[in-house]
Amino acid sequence: MAKAGKVPHLSYEQYLDEIATLLTEIYTMEDEAAIQMVMRAQADDFFTLHDDDPTLCTLERAEQDVRQVFKLYKLKKR
């Protein structure tokens, strides 16, 4: 159990999974579309700092980052 005042962090892989899960929950996306969006963001180095500093991989940060990922990487409808 985490100590009071200390925010537990996720592994990098767990963090990316959390982003994909939040995309499906908040934006009602299909799993595959959410995974593809996370992969595009990862390929574009959106998560580079998270990989370098695991303390950035928190549930609170995921709730912030998911909105930015959606805004930057959503597919435009034609």
pLDDT digits (tens, 9 = 90+) for 8-42: 889 999 999 999 999 999 999 999 999 999 999 99
- What pLDDT, on a 0 to 100 scale, did the predictor assign at position 21? 98
pTM: 0.86
Torsion over CA of 28, 33, 38 and 39, rounded to 10 degrees? 180
The Cα–Cα gap between 35 and 8 comes to 24
The Cα–Cα gap between 78 and 53 comes to 38
Delimit the domains of the chain by residue range: 12-73
